[in-house]
Structure formats: structure tokens, C-alpha cells
Amino acid sequence: MAAPDDFWERSKTPAYTPVRRVKPGESPQTPVEKEPDPELGHDPVDPRRYTSREFMRLEWQRMWTKVWLLGGRELDIPNPGDYIATEIGAESVLVVRQKDGGVRGFYNVCQHRGNRLSECGVGSTGESQSFKCAYHHWEYELDGSFRRIPDIDTFPQGRPSHGLCEVKCDTWGGFVWFSLAESPPPLLDYLGPIPQHLEPYNLNRMVQTRDITVEWDCNWKASVDAFNESYHVQGIHPQLLYYLHDLDIQIDCYERHSRYLIPFGTLSPRVRRPPGIPEPIKTIMKAAGMDPADYDEPIANIRRDVQKHKRAYGKTHGKDYSRLNDDQLTDDYHYLIFPNLSLNVHADDFWIFRQRPHPTDPDRMFYDIMTFELVPEGAEWPRRAVHKRWKHGEKGIGLVLDQDAANLPGVQAGMHSKGFRGLWLGKQELRIRHFHKVLDDYIYGPDGKPADAP
Amino acid sequence: MDLGLRGKKAIVTGATKGIGRAIVELLATEGADVGLCARTEDEVEATVRALKQHGVNAVGEAVNVRDGEAYKAWLERTVAALGGCDIFVPNVSAGGGFDSEKNWIKNFEVDVLHTVRGCETLMPHLEKSGNGSIVIISSTNALETFGVPQGFNAMKAALITYAKQLSQHVGKKGVRVNSIAPGPIYFEGGAWELIKGTMAKLFDYALKQIPSGRMGTPEEVARIVAFVASPAGSLMTGSNIVADNGFTKRVQF
């Protein structure tokens, strides 16, 4: 048995020199101030939150049906009659471009016998400019009112008093959002500081390069947690230690959303300085238009030099970085928009990971990967990626995400184990604690969590 | 066996890490005075301090061998500081790279030209030694195809040819020239540690090529270099010694 101090020596965080970060006055728009860390205690997180059907029911009743959720991208529905159908839990929601250019949302369900009107995904009503149920051909206008009910004269009670059941819908940032709440807070209130943070990125100049849904064998929160901390990099992503700083990370928790700022293009203090530039960092240099073979400076200078290079040549490459700070040119500004959007935001690309709960099973979820790339000014707008869907393990989704995905079924299995006492979270996992606190606020309300509740 | 290294003056480039570091450590242990260079000043200072622990004279400077004039000036200063030169081990390499033709220029300037410039600058001193010996560090990448068709492999091959030619040219002046082709050598902060971290499949593949399943250590290479460089290796010149734990598959007649 090792003495306690041996354990400490083996276990303690390696020492490191902090990376240089932009100071509050040096960021044109996105705030870079560190938020004071919330006091959230040190209690273990109850694993029943990940497995209990009762908890899943409460989540639906008190959280999913109260928040704002991502419906899709406005660019995908440019014309009247274009729509996106999104499945969320047991519900399916249509957001539809209207003739007046607005967007409205409806439950994706025919008022006749309850059939789904439209399949999940992006589509267009085409020439008909109507939704027609495949079962008995009940047909609806884009605004949800009835256009035609075959043999209406055989319904002595006439038609239902209302057409499609409306869902609250709004747009921000080129994205359509919906809420299943009767009277949700205004979208911008709900999003809090997020718009101010994200507006300087040229999100509307980015084309979608991946659109994938994978069914994962874990609770949706296990997936949210997986992207909400960087502590796991040294565990399951050893190659990223030659790509990013996994310890010098600024965590900011806001009212319900959170973010962390991860320096990219630099070595983790967990690895020794290698003899040459690691391939992962070379990819960052090449993407910025630098030639790694031409680079004769220490690896520690690369992050700063990539920032300078992008600043100097952005315009030449048709990329407008003028509203971004220097760190945003290299680093990962990673946001969690509560409850289910993990955003990796970069100057030249942008990834959304969305976690959607399974309709009935707390042990399963749908993981959406949507990635976007900046299209340089003057370049032809490429075709958007086609949506693909499969189950975990059927196909790879890239090394890093495969590493994340491979891990999660084991995590979920552990949540059911009698031998697991609860999630033991450290400071690097503050965002996970914050996420669960926000969830608790929805579920248990102002009175707080009852003593024995999960 | 006494290698006869006591009191010999050795100059080794790129000697703060890996193979170079192991070579200077062993030479110092055997009683040779050592002059060394590398890119990073504090690492050079730390290495020099460590070598002096062995009771030998050790000097070092931060030098970029790509800068020909600065490099040659450093060599002359080092010869003066050591009081001569009996052994030269040009060890610096620019490493692999396949993403730009600039890698070829870098490998030419660093791997080849630094070796050639070093040999030419030090030759008068090596001739004076009477036991002058050059050991050029090549690679098994020069001998068999591995990885990608990169400048590193071809330039390491050029070094073997150069070593042989040079050995014929300077043999009558009593200077021996040999090369060593190490296979995969694993050490902390080395290329294979990086490959293990970032290209796990390539690492596993390389390991599978080695019959005993073990990569070499810098110390194992250093022992061979020390022997070939020493007066004990007096019969060897113009040889290329493969030190790869069976990594390459060709038959050497």
C-alpha cells in the first residue's frame, strides 16, 4: 500500500505556464472576462438522473417543454413552403417558412387520426405549398389551417375548430428555434449572453459540411457531460495533447448556459516537447495558410503566430476576422446552450453537437453532428451536406468523436450499477455541475430538491 | 575492454536529447572531453553541467546548424576550447515531413549540409589527431522503404554514400569515417513518443516489424557509436552499421 504522499505525487496536476490570452479590452465584441465561479458544492451527482424513467418524465414535463430548442437553420428553408421537422423526445415539430417570409412552428401531427405529417429532416412542400397527410390526405396550408379534407360532407360534426397545433417559434443568428411551452420567455432573454458572444462569427457565411445523426446507447445527459469538460482529453484523446492545452482553460458559467475557452495549436503540459511540430498542430497551421516546413520557431510560439498570420492574411483569403479577437482565431470557444447544444465555435468553422432524448428509453439518445465551414468571399457556395443517420458503431464519425462515442455505453451501463455511488466531479468539471444545477432549477423549482430526490 | 576514449576530444551536434544526449553522456563517462550544440540554450547549459559531473571538460552553445557561418564559427570555437578534435558525430536532423517541398530543403540543409560542413571544417583537426574518427548518424529509413517518400529518407541515404566516399578520401590521412543506421529509437520527448501519441496505428505497425517487439534506446545506439568512434574500432572505416533490433528485413552481404 503506497503512502498518501506517493498517491499525491502520482496524481497531482502537472505544473504549467499559463498561455497568453487576450485581455478584456482586446476583444471587439465577444466578452472574454472570466465569470466568477458559482458555488455549487461538492456533492456527488445522483446516477438515477441518467437511468430513471420517472426522472425522464419530469425532465419532459418540467424542462424540455419549457425551454427553447434548436429547430434548424434559416438558410435551409429559404422559400415559402420549405420546412424542417425535428424529433424531440416523443414529439415532432415542424418549422415552416411562410409566404410572408416569417417562420411558424407546428406539432407535426395530423388532426384527423394523429399521423405524422412529415418525416424528420429538411424538406419542401414544393408546388403544392401544403402539407398533406399520407393516410387520408387531409391537407393543410403553410399556416396550419385546413386546405382540404376529403369527403368533408361525411363528417356531421364538420371540421376541427383548429388546424395544426401551433408551437412557439422565433429566429436568432440565422437559426430557427421553437419552444413547446405555452408562454416561453422571449427567445433573446432565454439565450442570455449567447447572441453577443456569437454574433461576430460569420455564421451566415458558413456552409453545412456534415449533417449526421447517430443513435447512442446512453442517456442524453451523459453525452452533454462528455463535451462539457476537458479533463477526459488525457484519458481518451491522447493525440489531442499534441493539439490543445487541456489544463489552462477558462470556464464561465452564466445563468443557464456556460462556456469554456480552450487554447488550440499548443502542447498540453502533460506531454514532453517533441522534436518536430506534431501533425495535429500542422493541420492548424496549414488551414491558416502557413507552411509548417517553413516554420523555425519553437512550438510554443505557433499559436500566437497562427493568430498573427490569420490577422494579416484573412482578407486576402476572403475571410473577415475583423470582429473577432486574436484568441478566437485559434482557440475553441465552446458553449453549452442549455439544455442540449454543445457548440465548438472557431473563426473558420463551427460545430453543433445536439443531444436529443429518446422518446421512451433513458438509456438511449440521438446525437446530431452539424458542422459548418466559412465560405470565403467570392467563392462559390458549395452544396450543403446531405443528412445521414445510423446507429453507434455502424460507421466512424472521425477519430475524436469515435473515442467519445466508444466510451459512453460503458458510462451509461455504470449508471445502473449498485457499485456506483455518484458522479465525483472536480473543478475541471464545473460546467457539468452547473448544467445539473440548471436542470434541477427546472425540475425542482424554487423550493429546491427534496432530500431523497435524484 | 578499454575503448581508449580517455582524454579524447569529441564534438557532437544536437546533443541535449535522445541519441545525441546518450552519446555525449557515454563519451563523458568514458573520459572524453565533449563539445556540443543544440537549439535551446537552457537545455545546452543543463547538458554541459551534467557532463561535467563526470570530471571531463564540456562546452556547449545554442546553435542553429542551418546557419552555415554561425555553425562553422562555433565548431572552430569548440576545437579551441577543447584543445583539438578527435571525434565528430554530426547528429542533428530536421526529422520527417511530407507536406511541403520545403522539407527537402530543410533535410538537405540540416541533415546533409551540416554533416558535410562539419566534416570539412573539422578535417584538419581530425587529421592532426592520429585517431580521427567521424560517425555519421543515418537511419534505416535510408535502407528500406518506410512511411512516405520524404526528404528525410533520401537525405539519410545521401549521408551513407557520403560517409563511404569520405572514408576513401581521408583514409590515408588516418581519419576513419563510418555511419550508423538506427531503426526506431524510443525515448521521452522523441519522434516515436510523438508518433505513439498522435499516430497510434503507425506506431503499432512499426513495433510489429521488430521481432522482439521492442524499439531501441538511445543508450544502445550510443554504445555502438562510442565503439566505432573510439580507437578500439580502428579496423572499421567506410562501414554502415545497422542498429535496428531486426526492424529491417533485407539481407546484408
Instruction: Give the span between the Cα atoms of A199 and A68, in whole angstroms.
Output: 19
CB contact under 8 A, B97 and A278: no
Q: Given phi > 0 = left and psi -120 to 50 = alpha, else beta, which region is A431? A: alpha
The 8-class DSSP code of residue A116 comes to B
Residue among A218, A128, A180, A125 nearest A415 (CA) = A218
Write the burial class of residue A44 (CB in 10 Å: 0-12 exposed, 13-18 middle, 19+ buried).
exposed
What pLDDT is stored for residue A315 in this prediction?
94
Which of chain A's residues have a Cβ under 8 Å away from the Cβ of B103? Answer: 293
Which of chain B's residues have a Cβ under 8 Å away from the Cβ of A244? Answer: none
Unique residue bearing C-alpha cell 443531444:
A355
Quick check: B147 contacting A, CB < 8 Å? no
Pull the grid cell for residue A320: 473577415
Contact A96, A81 (CB under 8 A): yes
Q: Given phi > 0 = left and psi -120 to 50 = alpha, else beta, which region is B7? A: left
Instruction: Give the span between the Cα atoms of A443 and A437, in whole angstroms.
Output: 10
CB contact under 8 A, B95 and A275: yes
Which residues pair with residue B208 across a beta bridge? none
What pLDDT is stored for residue A2 in this prediction?
56
Instruction: Give the span between the Cα atoms of A60 and A132, in whole angstroms.
Output: 29
Residue among A75, A79, A77 nearest A94 (CA) = A77
Measured torsion, CA atoms of residues A310, A313, A319, A323, in degrees rounded to the nearest 10: 60
Min distance A431 CA to chain B CA atoms (Å): 27
Which of chain A's residues have a Cβ under 8 Å away from the Cβ of B194? Answer: 242, 274-276, 278
What pLDDT is stored for residue A4 in this prediction?
67
Which of chain A's residues have a Cβ under 8 Å away from the Cβ of B40? Answer: 298
Determine how many CB atoms are found less than 10 A away from the CB of residue A95: 27
What pLDDT is stored for residue A433 in this prediction?
98
Pull the grid cell for residue B24: 555525449
What pLDDT is stored for residue A447 in this prediction?
87
Q: Percent of chain B scored above 90 by pLDDT?
A: 96
Nearest by CB: B189 against A242, A274, A298: A274
Low-confidence ranges of chain B (pLDDT < 50): none
Unique residue bearing C-alpha cell 384527423:
A112
A-B contacts at Cβ under 8 angstroms: 60
Per-residue pLDDT of chain A (454 residues; tens, 9 = 90+): 556 689 999 999 999 999 999 999 999 999 999 999 999 999 999 999 999 999 999 999 999 999 999 999 999 999 999 999 999 999 999 999 999 999 999 999 999 999 999 999 999 999 999 999 999 999 999 999 999 999 999 999 999 999 999 999 999 999 999 999 999 999 999 999 999 999 999 899 999 999 999 999 999 999 999 999 999 999 999 999 999 999 999 999 999 999 999 999 999 999 999 999 999 999 999 999 999 998 989 999 999 999 999 999 999 999 999 999 999 999 999 999 999 999 999 999 999 999 999 999 999 999 999 999 999 999 999 999 999 999 888 888 888 889 999 999 999 999 999 999 999 999 999 999 999 999 999 999 988 899 899 9
Quick check: B106 contacting A, CB < 8 Å? yes
ipTM (interface predicted TM): 0.85
Spell out where A108-205 has E strands: 121-124, 130-132, 139-141, 146-148, 166-172, 175-179
Residue among B66, B91, B61 nearest B76 (CA) = B61
What pLDDT is stored for residue B59 in this prediction?
98
Contact A214, A391 (CB under 8 A): yes
What pLDDT is stored for residue B71 in this prediction?
98
Contact B206, B104 (CB under 8 A): no
- For Cα atoms A310, A311, A317, give the angle at the middle one, nearest 5 degrees: 55
Instruction: Give the span between the Cα atoms of A28 and A250, in whole angstroms.
Output: 18
The 8-class DSSP code of residue A45 comes to B
Mutation site, B192, B194, B196, B203, interface A, largest A CB count within 10 A: B194
Cα–Cα distances (Å) from A318 to A315, A321, A322, in that order, read: 5, 10, 12
What 3-state DSSP class applies to A65? coil
What pLDDT is stored for residue A3 in this prediction?
66
Residue among A161, A306, A300, A203 nearest A242 (CA) = A300
pTM for this model (two decimals): 0.91
Determine how many CB atoms are found less than 10 A away from the CB of residue B94: 25
Nearest by CB: B99 against A271, A273, A292: A292
Spell out where B2-119 has E strands: 9-13, 33-38, 58-62, 87-89
| Preceding omega of A339 cis (within 30 degrees of 0) | yes
CB contact under 8 A, B96 and A292: no
Unique residue bearing C-alpha cell 462515442:
A405
Pull the grid cell for residue A160: 376541427
What pLDDT is stored for residue B98 in this prediction?
86
Amino acid symbol at A186: P
Taking an 8 Å Cβ-Cβ cutoff, which residues of chain A contact chain B?
A: 238-239, 241-242, 271-276, 278-280, 282, 286, 291-294, 296, 298
Mutation site, A234, A270, A273, A284, interface B, largest B CB count within 10 A: A273
